[in-house]
């Protein structure tokens, strides 16, 4: 345990990085998921094809490959473009933070696409008809009826997507992001205590996923508070 | 962009497909056994069996698989007694470590899937079995198991796919699977688009094959209930 002295601050900073990646990729994931779901639900053939290609590709490709593709691919493109202006440029890349966040958001977003689509279709047609019968217009029906019902259906799988995101952040260390696994690698080679160092990373992630699980449970209770049966 | 690299790279990467499938099938087999054991522990109704199983699932599902691989491969040799134990020949070898980590991980996920299947079996059928005088063990083997397998199969197929995707992480501990070879080729040619994109297509194709086979199996197992 004393081997950890002097590394706590590194782990703390790295955990903050993990949290930052998580928040950024979560926002992007929701955007990608909503775009994908709208593409798949639209009546436009082209949008359908794009939506399907998106989910098939990203659900079938290992996350690590997407990260490598985005990071090294963008680096090659950017370097080529930069050399047009200044031939002495050696290497330009997107920061690993952003390449990684976008990559994991794309992957998990493809799963979220199916969740959002399923939730949209899962809203009972009776509820929509009832809203119409009450004289609500399209927008009102969407915001007051569809969104709250979708939210209840999508929340449990959405929680799982958040857990996938937090665990995928560990992969970004492969392209050199200074996060917990990266710190553990340095700490292990300096102190010669790899087990201790990597276990700390495991505990950090366990903490993150526990916090997410608990928040999702609380959100579910909040979302379902009206339909909870009261003990009579 | 030089497309010729693709034709050069694909055969080289495909030579790693054997490694990918070895990792997938071996850890799937061991993981399934772990999952069955965990399932039996959880539904045993004895807290001293059920709690450890729950704790195991919580830990392995709550941490990234990459961290688990690193703990097994880089972490365990820290201890003298592990280096002197009979397991050292497995733990010294990156292949053994990858199999161990992948099996332990997928076992946790699969046990949850199996549990979902077992809990979804209709109570009435079990009561009918009891009324016919079947013992609890007989009911479990002849009623619960076949139905639970049918219910859990789609989720099992998804887990096989995510396990297949996780095998790509074995390249981080020096194993030369398809991803490992792809990374070597990119380091040589610096053509990430051609190499990684064609590799991604190979993975998508494998995913598609797994999906199709599971669908086939679903139809086959559901043949008695299909109208």
Comparing CA positions, the residue from B155, B192, B164 lying closest to residue B105 is B164
**pLDDT at res. A17:** 94
CA-CA distance, A170 to A168, in Å (whole number)?
Answer: 5
B62, B77, B199 ranked by CB distance to A209: nearest: B62
**Domain extent at residue B141:** 18-177
* DSSP structural state of residue B79: S
Instruction: Collect all residues of chain B within an 8 Å Cβ-Cβ radius of residue A192.
Output: 78
Question: Which residue of chain B is at minimal alpha-carbon distance from A59?
Answer: B204
Average of per-residue pLDDT across B149-156: 93
Q: How many CB atoms lie within 10 A of CB A20?
A: 14
Q: What number is the ipTM of this complex?
A: 0.90
Which tokens is A52 given?
A: 């399907």
Average of per-residue pLDDT across B138-149: 93
Establish if B32 belongs to a structural domain: yes
Establish if B12 belongs to a structural domain: no
Which residues 165-184 of chain B have a CB within 8 Å of chain A?
165-169, 171-172, 179, 182-183
**pLDDT at res. A84:** 87
- Residue B227: is its pLDDT beyond 70? no
Interface touch B64/A64, C-beta < 8 Å: no
CA-CA distance, B86 to A40, in Å (whole number)?
Answer: 54
Place of tokens 């969740």: A115
Please, which pLDDT band fits residue A230 given cuts at 50, 70 and 90?
low
B20 inside 8 A of chain A by CB: no
Establish if B125 belongs to a structural domain: yes
Task: Please indicate whether residue A204 or residue A87 has the higher confidence score (pLDDT).
Answer: A204
pLDDT digits (tens, 9 = 90+) for A20-45: 999 999 999 999 999 999 999 999 99
Question: Which residue of chain A is at minimal alpha-carbon distance from B210?
Answer: A60
Instruction: Collect all residues of chain A within an 8 Å Cβ-Cβ radius of residue B68.
Output: 202
Interface touch A199/B75, C-beta < 8 Å: yes
Please, which pLDDT band fits residue A105 given cuts at 50, 70 and 90?
very high
Question: Which residue of chain A is at minimal alpha-carbon distance from B211?
Answer: A60
Average of per-residue pLDDT across B66-89: 89
Q: What are phi and psi of B226, to 5 degrees?
A: -70, 135
**pLDDT at res. B150:** 92
Question: Which residue of chain B is at minimal alpha-carbon distance from A67?
Answer: B196
**pLDDT at res. B92:** 87
Which tokens is A110 given?
A: 């493809």
Establish if B3 belongs to a structural domain: no
Please, which pLDDT band fits residue B5 given cuts at 50, 70 and 90?
confident
**pLDDT at res. B31:** 97
- Residue B192: is its pLDDT beyond 70? yes
CA-CA distance, B210 to B20, in Å (whole number)?
Answer: 14
Establish if B51 belongs to a structural domain: yes
* DSSP structural state of residue A44: -
Which tokens is B117 given?
A: 């299947």
Best probe of the B interface among A58, A69, A74, A106, by most B CBs < 10 A, is A69
Instruction: Collect all residues of chain A within an 8 Å Cβ-Cβ radius of residue B191.
Output: 76
Question: Which residue of chain A is at minimal alpha-carbon distance from B166?
Answer: A62
- Residue B89: is its pLDDT beyond 90? no
- Residue A232: is its pLDDT beyond 60? no
Establish if B44 belongs to a structural domain: yes
Lowest mean pLDDT among A74-78, A203-207, B58-62, B110-114: A74-78
Tell me the HSE value of A13 on the side-chain side, using a 13 A CA sphere.
9
- Residue B84: is its pLDDT beyond 90? no
Contact, B167 vs B176, CB < 8 A? no
Average of per-residue pLDDT across A93-103: 93
Instruction: Collect all residues of chain B within an 8 Å Cβ-Cβ radius of residue A201.
Output: 67, 70
- Residue B52: is its pLDDT beyond 70? yes
Please, which pLDDT band fits residue A7 given cuts at 50, 70 and 90?
confident
Please state the domain count of chain B.
1
Chain A residues near any Cβ of chain B (below 8 Å): 56-57, 59-66, 68-69, 72-73, 75-76, 163, 167-171, 173-174, 181, 184, 188, 192-199, 201-202, 205-206, 209-210
Q: Sketch out chain A's domains with CATH numbers.
A: 2-223 (1.10.3720.10)
Q: How far is A132 from chain B (nearest CA, A)?
A: 36
Instruction: Collect all residues of chain B within an 8 Å Cβ-Cβ radius of residue A173.
Output: 66
Q: Which residues, in sequence order, are CB contacts of B93 under 8 Å at separation 6+?
A: none
Establish if B225 belongs to a structural domain: no
Return mean pLDDT, chain B.
Answer: 92
pLDDT digits (tens, 9 = 90+) for A142-162: 888 888 888 889 999 999 999
Establish if B85 belongs to a structural domain: yes
Residue B109's domain is classified under what CATH number? 1.10.3720.10
Contact, B177 vs B23, CB < 8 A? yes
Comparing CA positions, the residue from B109, B142, B137, B104 lying closest to residue B125 is B142
Q: How far is B220 from chain A (nearest CA, A)?
A: 24
Instruction: Collect all residues of chain A within an 8 Å Cβ-Cβ radius of residue B161.
Output: 59-60
Question: Which residue of chain B is at minimal alpha-carbon distance from A197?
Answer: B75
């Amino acid at each position: 345990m004393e081997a950890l002295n002097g590394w706590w601050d590194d782990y703390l900073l790295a955990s903050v990085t993990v949290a930052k990646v998580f928040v950024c990729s979560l926002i992007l994931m929701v955007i990608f998921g909503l775009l994908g779901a709208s593409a798949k639900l639209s009546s436009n053939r082209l949008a359908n094809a794009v939506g399907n290609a998106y989910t098939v590709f990203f659900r079938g490709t290992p996350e690590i490959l997407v990260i490598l593709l985005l990071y090294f691919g963008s680096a090659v493109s950017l370097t080529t473009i930069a050399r047009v202006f200044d031939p002495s440029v050696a290497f330009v890349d997107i920061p690993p933070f952003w390449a990684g966040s976008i990559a994991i958001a794309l992957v998990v977003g493809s799963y979220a696409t199916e969740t959002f689509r399923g939730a949209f279709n899962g809203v009972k047609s009776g509820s929509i008809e009832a809203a119409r019968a009450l004289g609500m217009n399209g927008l009102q029906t969407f915001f007051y009826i569809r969104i709250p019902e979708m939210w209840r259906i999508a929340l449990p799988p959405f929680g799982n997507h958040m857990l996938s995101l937090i665990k995928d952040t560990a992969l970004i260390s492969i392209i050199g992001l200074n996060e917990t696994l990266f710190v553990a690698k340095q700490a292990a080679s300096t102190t010669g205590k790899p087990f201790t160092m990597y276990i700390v990373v495991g505990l950090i992630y366990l903490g993150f996923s526990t916090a997410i699980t608990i928040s999702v449970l609380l959100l579910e209770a909040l979302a379902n508070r009206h339909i909870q049966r009261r003990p009579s | 962009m030089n497309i010729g690299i693709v034709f050069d790279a694909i055969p080289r990467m495909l030579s790693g497909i054997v490694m990918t499938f070895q990792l997938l099938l071996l850890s799937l087999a061991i993981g399934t056994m772990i999952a069955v054991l965990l399932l039996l522990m959880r539904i045993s109704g004895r807290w001293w069996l059920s709690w450890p199983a729950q704790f195991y699932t919580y830990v392995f599902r709550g941490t990234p698989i990459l961290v688990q691989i690193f703990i097994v491969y880089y972490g365990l040799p820290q201890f003298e007694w592990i280096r002197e134990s009979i397991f050292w020949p497995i733990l010294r070898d990156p292949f053994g470590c990858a199999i161990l980590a992948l099996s332990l991980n997928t076992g946790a996920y699969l046990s949850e899937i199996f549990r979902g299947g077992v809990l979804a079996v209709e109570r009435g059928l079990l009561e009918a079995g009891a009324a016919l005088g079947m013992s609890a063990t007989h009911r479990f083997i002849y009623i619960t198991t076949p139905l639970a397998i049918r219910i859990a199969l789609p989720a099992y197929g998804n887990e096989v796919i995510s396990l297949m995707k996780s095998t790509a992480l074995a390249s981080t501990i020096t194993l030369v699977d398809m991803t490992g070879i792809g990374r070597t080729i990119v380091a040589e040619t610096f053509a990430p688009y051609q190499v990684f994109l064609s590799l991604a297509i190979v993975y998508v194709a494998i995913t598609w094959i797994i999906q199709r086979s599971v669908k086939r199996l679903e139809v086959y197992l559901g043949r008695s209930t299909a109208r």
